[in-house]
Chain A
Amino acid sequence: MTDLHLHKGKITGKVNPARPGDLTAQLRKKRKQATVKKRAPVKSPAASSETATHKPVADIEAAVLRTEQWFNKNNWQVFDFQRDTWTAWHSGQSGLIHSPTGSGKTLAAWLGAVQHALVSNKPPEALQVLWITPLRALAADTCEQLQSAANALEAGVRIEKRTGDTTNSKRASQRTKPPYALITTPESLSVMLSYPNDEKVFSKLHTIVVDEWHELLGSKRGVQLQLCLARLKKICPQLRIWGLSATLANLPEAMDALIGRPQTGNHNSTLIKGVIPKSVVVDSIIPTDNQRFRWSGHLGVQLVEQVAAVIDNANTTLVFTNTRAQAELWYQALQNLSTTQPDSISLHHGSLDLKLRHQIEERLRNGDIRCVVCTSSLDLGVDFHPVDQVVQIGSPKGIARLLQRAGRSGHQPGSVSRVVCVPTHAFELVEIAAARIALQENRIETRDTPQRSLDVLSQHLVTIAAGCGFSSAEMYDEVKTTEAFKDLSETEWQWVLDFITRGGQALQGYPQYHKVIIDKDVYKVVDKTIAQRHRMGIGTIVSDAQINVVFQRGKKLGTTEESFVARLKPGDTFQFAGRHLELIRVRDMTAQVKKATRKSTSVPRWRGTQMPISTELADSVLDTLTAWQKQTVDSPELQSINEMLQLQQQWSALPGPDDLLLEFIQTREGYSLFCYPFAGRLAHEGLAILLAYRLSQQHSITLTLQVNDYGFELQCPVSFEQFLPLIRDSLQPLFSTEHLIEDILASVNSSEIARRQFRGIARIAGLVFSGYPGRSKSAKQVQASSGLIFDVFENYDADNLLLEQARREVLEQQLEVQRITRCLDSIHAKKWHIEHPARLTPLAFPLWAESVQGQTVSSESFQTRVERMLATLEQEAGHSLAQRNGE
């Protein structure tokens, strides 16, 4: 990526307060003026969802010619990669196309199949193309886009969508009168496979396109899709599988995971590189000298005026935030500033009602709004006109993600994508500078597929058993062709079969259990209730119970987690969907609200929305810090926090790639060890638990842990005066790599973390039934929390492989054990800086100030612990009482 143009920029204060007049008109003018050949837009102007007539051509050449004529007529350029894809398609190949968002990947992957339909004499009568999209919300847009392209080429093909929203009558008509192409999600595809007629439905299939494969690849949804693809390849051996992906460091592996391993011979597949990436310019907003900038937090909106100025300076802007709560806050803050045109800013995140989101996308497309504050909900999406610029609030946490988001801006091929990064606390300025350097050096992250997820496999096998059924030997071979189960052992396979047929070891001899039965070597589900309940539970997305938020008259605003609403009383106010709302009542999983008359600062926190900093970016941060110390780097971001970095250096030390910094600090709450390996929040959680466990093995002690992307804190109550020398004396063995995995496993067991991880597994493997939608009470008798089931398995079925999987997932995904190992391996070669700062340093403060998500590791008896906690509480009560009296 040598052509990547980089730019260091600095924006302070108001840039250009003047607001463009009639935006819509201006935009139209701009588009007219463009005379250079453009890429094909994501949507033709005169899109029609009606199927056009079928006008066949003589051969493939003629079909390609018609395609090119259509491009020319519209003054669009046909890119080489699009031609290459069509050629590969016609020669029966599969492949992966990687290219930035909005560069014409969709037409590349789609038109091969359209040309194929053109060659046939009559319109197609069977389902021949499946188009998999990761987001239900994208299905409608994709459908329109594919239909309008097919219509323009007069292919006479019908495209329909099939998602969780599709009505039963529509489903039925899709069976009797199948469309040429069906747009669906991985979950809906699974559901389709759970009906017994799948071989008939899919028998004519020749193409599967998986959109945004990079989004699915690293998750269990991707694993589920791999299994479904293996199934479809079995039904239709001539199947082509095409993937569309953004830039990743390990594209060949990503392609292999998509296409699967052939049972015999080699892949017939090709990796296609799309258009050259747009140049990316990373700017940042730097607080002015008189803005006292915070050392911690991630919701801070103090730079809102500067951000408003940046927004004013362009026609259209996307403001990306990392969490939904952050999006709500920034939307409010920006809204409060823009007094003249309050409607020109909008809010978009995954918990908002689909209709609202569509309205917003529509209005942005029409030029009615100039700015959308959004989360990763707009990372994806085809039908999206590029905007003028992108603003990223807070650290992007990864290089690929920054590239992806930046790619949302810039209109012309080869034009510049511009992203303005906005730090929310001081140290994020280092991350921004580091991200720019990493981009320059092309350090992009890899993405790997989860291995041997037995929960997903159990679910898939029940799905197929409910559908056509399967035989053990054939199915084993089929499953082994997927990347996710290439290492599946015979033993694991037998265990899963046992689990779905007899409930596993512990349930043997209970005749009433008959989820999957074996009938002449065919595994199938015969009980209709079990099949139906299984279909409701298909999927691997695990979320908390969601509560609908609706106005009194019924207008739906979106959903929020039950745990948030549970804390509210009627009359309480909160911010949601960019509005100040007052809770009226909660009934049947619905929260009725009305507009609040007073403003509220309470914002729902949605769980699981924070990602760890990537290894690539974290390494770049350490390099950047060293470069700053050696004065070999000059960036406006670093200059602006010179003072803070110097403070860190004076009070303690600044870590670099060859250093390990440890700080012992006494705080109001006790004694703390701060350690900064810069390995990301997940690996830090693992390290902190490991150290706490090793300490607690030697001494009777209760430690509380806190982690962030830079390091972790181990805190001990005030009464432990001996804590300090105790750790100092055993530092080396604490960080030892000896018995590493055993110790981590033991520490994982002694904490809540494996139990928490089991939540998702239990849900996917069908152990936790979330109930029928709208009939919240009917399944009460078979509801138990996953934590309870975890405990029961530990006591009664300790060999259950799902427990083993929970621990493995904790190691691999929750704690990133590879990063821990890497970190500990290198730690002893590093220079150790053991400091005793008199007060919290700039690096320590954010850890100390973080008050959520605390973990506890304890080797004290229940009694000692409760007594100490009670003593602490009394002390605090006495303290606050004394304060009150003193006033």
Chain B
Amino acid sequence: MENSFYSGTATVQCCEEILLLHPQKVIYWPARKTLFAADIHAGKEQTFARSGIPIPGGISEDTFTLLMQLVDNFGAERLIILGDLLHSTPVPDENWQQHLTQLLNARTQLNLQVIIGNHDSLQARGNTLKALVWKTEIHDPPFVYKHEPEPHDNGYVLAGHIHPAWQLTAGRRNRLKSPVFWFQQQVAVLPAFGLFTGGHLIQRTSVDRVFMIGTDCVMEV
């Protein structure tokens, strides 16, 4: 079981630390037992529904269930959300909030830290479960965790925000598009984790490392 869980992951050495890139769009840092996920956009389907666009419910619940499964499978002790946990200001008792509370109650040992993203407005945070610890950025040498992927003087940045994706083209017609992990010289960008999030094609340079994500594996391209 454990073998198959790790089989699709790719390994990156970053600032002399080993990071595991998992096909479920998270990064695990074994040395610190820390799991990273970016751009959850919880409550996005409800935001749509409130505006008269009927997107089915249950997506945010599934997103958190999957995230906690990953926490369990890796045996992570710390979980860092790299911004945009929320999509917009939620209704206080929205289904996913109870669900998340239950998941967290079952994992009291888990140290959850949330970076404030551009979607996590003050009002939105106020309407969300009080147990969450919000930070604008976290310095954790050799890394800095923040939402927007900009270089930082204090360390190599792990960020989200842009939902990176890449398209591979071979020959004149053969094309393949997928979300990616994007490691630049001073910043790494994680793919969006939320199950109701899209992707934006990135402009990479030749020194960047890009890892495409398939259904069951991560591959450097």
Cβ of A777 to closest chain B Cβ, rounded Å = 12
Inter-chain CA distance A514–B217, complex, in Å, is 41
- Chain B window 166-192, contacts with chain A (Cβ cutoff 8 Å), 1 for yes, 0 for no: 001111111110100000000000000
Cβ of A877 to closest chain B Cβ, rounded Å = 11
Residues in B with CB closer than 8 Å to A766 are 52-53
- Chain B window 188-204, contacts with chain A (Cβ cutoff 8 Å), 1 for yes, 0 for no: 00000001111000000
Residues in B with CB closer than 8 Å to A510 are 46, 49, 57
Inter-chain CA distance A181–B165, complex, in Å, is 54
Instruction: Report the stretch among B107-115, B142-150, B208-216 that lies at the interface.
Output: B208-216
Inter-chain CA distance A797–B91, complex, in Å, is 23
Cβ of B83 to closest chain A Cβ, rounded Å = 16
Please tell me the size bucket of the interface on A.
Answer: 35 or more
Checking A502, A504, A781, A869 against B176 with a beta-carbon cut-off of 8 angstroms, the contacting residue is: A869
Quick check: is B221 within 8 A (CB to CB) of the other chain? yes
Residues in B with CB closer than 8 Å to A869 are 168-170, 174, 176
Quick check: is A851 within 8 A (CB to CB) of the other chain? yes
Known contacts A503-B54, A507-B54, A766-B53; is-contact A862 B174 (Cβ 8 Å): no
Question: Is B49 a contact of A513 with CB atoms below 8 Å?
Answer: yes
Interfacial residues of chain A within 788-832, with CB under 8 A of chain B in the complex: 788-789, 792-793, 795-797
Nearest B residue to A792, CB-CB:
B196
Cβ of A643 to closest chain B Cβ, rounded Å = 29
Inter-chain CA distance A702–B173, complex, in Å, is 11
Known contacts A513-B54, A796-B59, A866-B214; is-contact A503 B49 (Cβ 8 Å): yes
Question: Is B52 a contact of A781 with CB atoms below 8 Å?
Answer: no
Quick check: is A264 within 8 A (CB to CB) of the other chain? no
Given contacts A507-B54, A792-B195, A854-B173, 5 further A-B contacts (CB under 8 A): A510-B57, A530-B52, A704-B174, A795-B195, A863-B214
- Chain B window 23-56, contacts with chain A (Cβ cutoff 8 Å), 1 for yes, 0 for no: 0000000000000000000001111111111111
- Chain B window 86-120, contacts with chain A (Cβ cutoff 8 Å), 1 for yes, 0 for no: 01100100000000000000000000000000000
Quick check: is A737 within 8 A (CB to CB) of the other chain? no
Quick check: is A576 within 8 A (CB to CB) of the other chain? no
Inter-chain CA distance A527–B221, complex, in Å, is 50
Checking B51, B52, B168 against A866 with a beta-carbon cut-off of 8 angstroms, the contacting residue is: B168
Quick check: is A343 within 8 A (CB to CB) of the other chain? no
A-B contact count (CB 8 A): 131
Quick check: is B58 within 8 A (CB to CB) of the other chain? yes
Inter-chain CA distance A622–B53, complex, in Å, is 49
Nearest B residue to A500, CB-CB:
B54
Known contacts A512-B46, A796-B56; is-contact A866 B219 (Cβ 8 Å): yes
Question: Is A782 a contact of B56 with CB atoms below 8 Å?
Answer: no
Cβ of B202 to closest chain A Cβ, rounded Å = 14
Nearest B residue to A863, CB-CB:
B217
Residues in B with CB closer than 8 Å to A513 are 49-50, 52, 54
Cβ of B213 to closest chain A Cβ, rounded Å = 9
Question: Is B58 a contact of A872 with CB atoms below 8 Å?
Answer: no
Nearest B residue to A507, CB-CB:
B54
Quick check: is A515 within 8 A (CB to CB) of the other chain? yes
Cβ of A876 to closest chain B Cβ, rounded Å = 8
Interfacial residues of chain A within 667-710, with CB under 8 A of chain B in the complex: 669, 702, 704-706
Quick check: is A47 within 8 A (CB to CB) of the other chain? no
Residues in B with CB closer than 8 Å to A873 are 168, 170
Per CB-CB distance, the 7 closest pairs between chain A and chain B, nearest first, are A854-B173, A503-B54, A862-B214, A506-B56, A869-B170, A796-B56, A515-B52
Residues in B with CB closer than 8 Å to A705 are 173
Quick check: is A769 within 8 A (CB to CB) of the other chain? yes
Question: Is A865 a contact of B56 with CB atoms below 8 Å?
Answer: no
Residues in A with CB closer than 8 Å to B216 are 861-862
Residues in B with CB closer than 8 Å to A706 are 173
Residues in B with CB closer than 8 Å to A503 are 49, 54-56
Nearest A residue to B217, CB-CB:
A863
Checking A781, A854, A867 against B172 with a beta-carbon cut-off of 8 angstroms, the contacting residue is: A854
Residues in B with CB closer than 8 Å to A767 are 53-55
Residues in B with CB closer than 8 Å to A787 are 198
Inter-chain CA distance A370–B217, complex, in Å, is 63
Quick check: is A574 within 8 A (CB to CB) of the other chain? no
Question: Is B176 a contact of A866 with CB atoms below 8 Å?
Answer: yes
Inter-chain CA distance A677–B24, complex, in Å, is 44
Residues in B with CB closer than 8 Å to A530 are 51-52
Quick check: is A726 within 8 A (CB to CB) of the other chain? no
Question: Is B56 a contact of A781 with CB atoms below 8 Å?
Answer: no
- Chain A window 847-887, contacts with chain B (Cβ cutoff 8 Å), 1 for yes, 0 for no: 00001001110000111011111101100100000000000
Inter-chain CA distance A851–B169, complex, in Å, is 13
Question: Is A784 a contact of B170 with CB atoms below 8 Å?
Answer: no
Nearest A residue to B91, CB-CB:
A512
Question: Is B48 a contact of A782 with CB atoms below 8 Å?
Answer: yes
Residues in B with CB closer than 8 Å to A717 are 171
Question: Is A796 a contact of B58 with CB atoms below 8 Å?
Answer: yes
Cβ of A755 to closest chain B Cβ, rounded Å = 12
Quick check: is A533 within 8 A (CB to CB) of the other chain? yes
Quick check: is A489 within 8 A (CB to CB) of the other chain? no
Residues in A with CB closer than 8 Å to B52 are 513-515, 527, 530, 533-534, 766
Inter-chain CA distance A586–B113, complex, in Å, is 39
Nearest B residue to A849, CB-CB:
B172
- Chain A window 705-719, contacts with chain B (Cβ cutoff 8 Å), 1 for yes, 0 for no: 110000000010100
Quick check: is A74 within 8 A (CB to CB) of the other chain? no
Known contacts A781-B88, A788-B198, A863-B219; is-contact A507 B49 (Cβ 8 Å): yes
Quick check: is A628 within 8 A (CB to CB) of the other chain? no
- Chain B window 52-68, contacts with chain A (Cβ cutoff 8 Å), 1 for yes, 0 for no: 11111111000000000
Residues in B with CB closer than 8 Å to A609 are none
Inter-chain CA distance A706–B171, complex, in Å, is 13
Nearest B residue to A713, CB-CB:
B173
Checking A512, A856, A868, A876 against B49 with a beta-carbon cut-off of 8 angstroms, the contacting residue is: A512
Inter-chain CA distance A854–B169, complex, in Å, is 11
Inter-chain CA distance A533–B54, complex, in Å, is 14
Residues in A with CB closer than 8 Å to B49 are 503, 507, 510, 512-513
Known contacts A862-B214, A863-B219; is-contact A792 B59 (Cβ 8 Å): yes
Residues in B with CB closer than 8 Å to A288 are none
Known contacts A512-B50, A863-B214, A870-B221; is-contact A792 B56 (Cβ 8 Å): yes
Cβ of B41 to closest chain A Cβ, rounded Å = 10
Question: Is B56 a contact of A507 with CB atoms below 8 Å?
Answer: yes
Question: Is A788 a contact of B197 with CB atoms below 8 Å?
Answer: yes
Residue among A702, A792, A795, A865 with max Cβ neighbours from chain B (10 Å): A792
Quick check: is A785 within 8 A (CB to CB) of the other chain? yes
Residues in A with CB closer than 8 Å to B214 are 861-863, 866
Question: Is B196 a contact of A784 with CB atoms below 8 Å?
Answer: yes
Question: Is B171 a contact of A872 with CB atoms below 8 Å?
Answer: yes
Known contacts A769-B53, A870-B221; is-contact A781 B173 (Cβ 8 Å): no
Residues in A with CB closer than 8 Å to B51 are 530, 533, 769, 782
Inter-chain CA distance A863–B7, complex, in Å, is 12
